[in-house]
Chain A
Amino acid sequence: MKPLLIAIPFILLLAVISVLTGVGSLASGLGGDGRGWLLIVESRVPRTLALMLAGTGLAVAGTIMQMLARNRFVEPSTAGTAESAALGMLLTMIFAPALPVAAKMAVAALTALAGTALFLKILRQIPLRSALMVPLVGIMLGGVISAVTTFIAYRYDMTQSMGAWISGDFSGVLRGRYELLWIALVLTLIAYVTAARFTVIGMGEDIARNVGLDYNKVVTLGLGIVSMVTATVVATVGMVPFLGLIVPNVISLVVGDNLRRTLPLIAATGAGLVLACDIVGRIVIAPYEIPVGTVMGVIGSVVFLYLLLSRRAHAG
């Protein structure tokens, strides 16, 4: 519990900084014509909340993914999940553009589920399960799905919307446009309640069956959570890559993998990391912005490489 007590004030501080960061001036409006408040309520607070919700959801989704695949290097963006969700979004935009966002998101969740299930199925077919093969397979699968998506998008002149789903960007978040992300929080709470099951699954199918767990049922539940979290994030703000990889790995190194204990910490750290990356992205080239996905991509690939090289010895 102790690391969590340290993490929470730190994240609250980041949240405050996040609300105070931006081009529009708050000071001028606060006492005067109320424009500062408007800015805070309509744009800044929604953005900060969206960041925290997406960060929490993706970090937890990454953790569950890693338990299901029994591999440290998978997360929604290295398992075909995010790409499948984007494909689902594209298909709804083409064939049912009038659907409300929530319905589009539900379709995206279904395609994400199918894509991730396919990934796990492929993993089961591969006899050689080197630790490094697993994310490679996922990235290739994601590449194939992404290629199909791009082809369709190109045909229908929709490549721009595709960019919005694949690369996370919170600059467009306004009140009324991010609320679906609360679903990610609900899913996180479900993951917490069922955390012990995912830890057991992470110990392997034999041990899970030995202690009487219905393996397939828990895998299905996990896939459901991962797919829905990914779909909500893709549909509202766009995928933030590597987050689901970095956070669980760092927490695992420090406090281990007993999810009942570590999941709150993973959720909090996920929120904190996205907040920090977003603040950096807003400050570096102010008054312009670097999308959070890009900042995370830079930090993430460095950490990913470090993890690959350092854990190689005992990860296989």
Chain B
Amino acid sequence: MIEIRDVTKSYGSNAVVDRVSMTLPAGGLTSIIGPNGAGKSTLLSIVSRLMPMDGGQVLVDGLDVSRTAGDVLARRLSIMRQDNHITARLSVRDLVTFGRYPYSKGRLTAIDVEHIDRSIAYVGLKAFEHRFLDELSGGQRQRAFIAMVLCQDTDYMLFDEPLNNLDMKHAVETMKLLRRLADDFAKTVVVVLHDINFASAYSDRIVAMRDGKLAFEGAPKDMIEPSRLQAIFDVDCRVHAVGETRLVNYFE
């Protein structure tokens, strides 16, 4: 369980995250949605201790992220940021191997190697494992980073806009992969998403943020609803039920 209590982050007088409190239960896939500048990525960075907070507290399974040793937390929680520009020239396998760093500190055991092989195979990059990252397509590179998080094998996995720059096919593949992490491996997956329909189709829970505050949270069937979407995004839209899934038409 991730407990976020009164978390605040401001730049000057502008509060990017404004006293947000929420609880993300263990298990399942939670999407965080909201307009640009709502504070979604900032909140994710704070939860994963990449960014210090100005006030408040975040507990991951009771561990205070500001106080817990880096490598202890790295075995509980991992994050994939949206901007994964790496200057170092590493192969896919090298990259995924560093997902084991919290356990191995650079000296691999047989268990580490097993995790590495499994993660690479899981994202379908076995044939590319010795390629350098700068020799891959955007979708393949994204999957390599997912494999790294996978290899880190933490209970909590956070993804900041993992669908950025992906075409339709790779976006769907990526979301299915994240869904399987929750279903097959009982991981707690938290994803910042821009595409409301992906959030609707793949989430167990949706959290909506606006102006640095928590706006709404709930199951997709409660969240994907015209008046709420209007309140979150300022956009008029219609919602259609297609089978079990509610799809949002905001084009007309």
Name A residues whose Cβ lies closer than 8 Å to a Cβ of B.
66-67, 70-72, 195-197, 199-200, 202-207, 209-214, 252-253, 256-258, 260, 314-315
Given contacts A210-B79, A256-B132, is CB(A203)–CB(B70) below 8 Å? no
Q: Is the CB of B49 within 8 A of A203?
A: no
Q: Which chain A residues border B152 with CB–CB below 8 Å?
A: 210-211
Q: Is the CB of B98 within 8 A of A211?
A: yes
Q: Which residue of the partner chain A has the closest CB to B48?
A: A210
User: Quick one: which of A203, A211, A314 contacts B134, CB cutoff 8 A?
Assistant: A314
Pairs across A and B, CB under 8 Å, 19 listed? A72-B87, A199-B94, A200-B98, A200-B101, A202-B86, A203-B90, A203-B98, A204-B85, A205-B50, A206-B81, A207-B84, A210-B78, A211-B99, A212-B71, A213-B71, A257-B88, A257-B89, A257-B90, A258-B90
Q: Taking the nearest CB of chain A, how far is it from the CB of B202, in angstroms?
A: 23
Q: Taking the nearest CB of chain B, how far is it from the CB of A105, in angstroms?
A: 30
Name B residues whose Cβ lies closer than 8 Å to a Cβ of A.
48-50, 69-75, 78-79, 81, 84-91, 94-95, 98-99, 101-102, 105-106, 132, 134, 152
Determine the distance from Cα of A214 to Cα of B68 in the docked complex, in whole angstroms.
Answer: 12
Q: Which chain A residues border B105 with CB–CB below 8 Å?
A: 196
Q: Is the CB of A202 within 8 A of B88?
A: yes
Q: Is the CB of B101 within 8 A of A196?
A: yes
Determine the distance from Cα of A205 to Cα of B48 in the docked complex, in whole angstroms.
Answer: 13
Q: Which residue of the partner chain B has the closest CB to A201?
A: B88
Q: Which chain B residues border A209 with CB–CB below 8 Å?
A: 49-50, 70
Q: Is the CB of B74 within 8 A of A210?
A: yes
Q: Which chain B residues border A211 with CB–CB below 8 Å?
A: 74, 78, 98-99, 101-102, 152
Q: Is the CB of B86 within 8 A of A203?
A: yes
Q: Taking the nearest CB of chain A, how far is it from the CB of B50, in angstroms?
A: 5
Given contacts A210-B79, A258-B91, is CB(A197)–CB(B106) below 8 Å? yes
Q: Which residue of the partner chain B has the closest CB to A198?
A: B88
User: Quick one: which of A67, A195, A212, A257 contacts B102, CB cutoff 8 A?
Assistant: A212
Q: Which residue of the partner chain B has the closest CB to A215?
A: B70
Q: Is the CB of B50 within 8 A of A199?
A: no
Given contacts A197-B106, A210-B74, A212-B71, is CB(A203)–CB(B88) below 8 Å? yes
Given contacts A72-B87, A206-B50, is CB(A260)–CB(B73) below 8 Å? no
Given contacts A70-B87, A199-B88, is CB(A212)–CB(B70) below 8 Å? yes
Given contacts A203-B98, A209-B50, is CB(A260)–CB(B106) below 8 Å? yes
Known interface pairs A72-B87, A199-B94; 12 further A-B residue pairs with C-beta atoms within 8 A, sorted by A's residue number: A195-B106, A196-B101, A197-B106, A209-B49, A210-B79, A211-B102, A212-B71, A212-B73, A212-B74, A213-B101, A260-B106, A314-B134
| Max chain B Cβ within 10 angstroms of own Cβ: one of A200, A202, A207, A209 | A207
Determine the distance from Cα of A210 to Cα of B151 in the docked complex, in whole angstroms.
Answer: 13
Determine the distance from Cα of A79 to Cα of B151 in the docked complex, in whole angstroms.
Answer: 36
Given contacts A206-B81, A210-B50, is CB(A256)–CB(B102) below 8 Å? no
Determine the distance from Cα of A12 to Cα of B98 in the docked complex, in whole angstroms.
Answer: 34
Q: Which residue of the partner chain B has the closest CB to A258?
A: B94
Q: Taking the nearest CB of chain B, how far is it from the CB of A264, in angstroms?
A: 15
Q: Which chain B residues border A67 with CB–CB below 8 Å?
A: 88
Q: Which chain B residues border A214 with CB–CB below 8 Å?
A: 70
Q: Which chain B residues border A200 with CB–CB below 8 Å?
A: 98, 101
Q: Is the CB of B106 within 8 A of A196?
A: yes
**Top 5 A-B pairs ranked by shortest CB distance?**
A212-B74, A196-B106, A212-B71, A202-B88, A257-B88
Determine the distance from Cα of A71 to Cα of B48 in the docked complex, in whole angstroms.
Answer: 26
Q: Taking the nearest CB of chain A, how far is it from the CB of B183, in angstroms?
A: 24
Q: Which chain A residues border B94 with CB–CB below 8 Å?
A: 199, 256, 258
Determine the distance from Cα of A71 to Cα of B50 in the docked complex, in whole angstroms.
Answer: 21
Determine the distance from Cα of A210 to Cα of B75 in the docked complex, in whole angstroms.
Answer: 10
Determine the distance from Cα of A257 to Cα of B74 in the docked complex, in whole angstroms.
Answer: 23
Q: Which chain A residues border B74 with CB–CB below 8 Å?
A: 210-212
Q: Is the CB of B86 within 8 A of A204?
A: yes
Q: Which chain B residues border A203 with CB–CB below 8 Å?
A: 86, 88, 90, 95, 98
Q: Which residue of the partner chain B has the closest CB to A71?
A: B87
Q: Is the CB of B90 within 8 A of A213?
A: no
Determine the distance from Cα of A203 to Cα of B79 in the docked complex, in whole angstroms.
Answer: 14
Determine the distance from Cα of A48 to Cα of B252 in the docked complex, in whole angstroms.
Answer: 77
Q: Taking the nearest CB of chain A, how far is it from the CB of B198, in angstroms?
A: 24
Given contacts A196-B105, A210-B74, A212-B72, is CB(A256)–CB(B98) below 8 Å? no
Determine the distance from Cα of A256 to Cα of B92 in the docked complex, in whole angstroms.
Answer: 11
Determine the distance from Cα of A212 to Cα of B101 in the docked complex, in whole angstroms.
Answer: 8
Q: Which chain B residues border A204 with CB–CB below 8 Å?
A: 85-86
Q: Which residue of the partner chain A has the closest CB to B75?
A: A212
Q: Which chain B residues border A257 with CB–CB below 8 Å?
A: 88-90
Q: Which chain A residues border B102 with CB–CB below 8 Å?
A: 211-212
Determine the distance from Cα of A257 to Cα of B89 in the docked complex, in whole angstroms.
Answer: 5
Determine the distance from Cα of A315 to Cα of B89 in the docked complex, in whole angstroms.
Answer: 11
Q: Taking the nearest CB of chain B, how far is it from the CB of A43, in angstroms?
A: 41
Determine the distance from Cα of A197 to Cα of B106 in the docked complex, in whole angstroms.
Answer: 8
Q: Taking the nearest CB of chain A, how far is it from the CB of B76, in angstroms?
A: 10
Determine the distance from Cα of A314 to Cα of B90 in the docked complex, in whole angstroms.
Answer: 15
| Max chain B Cβ within 10 angstroms of own Cβ: one of A199, A211, A213 | A211
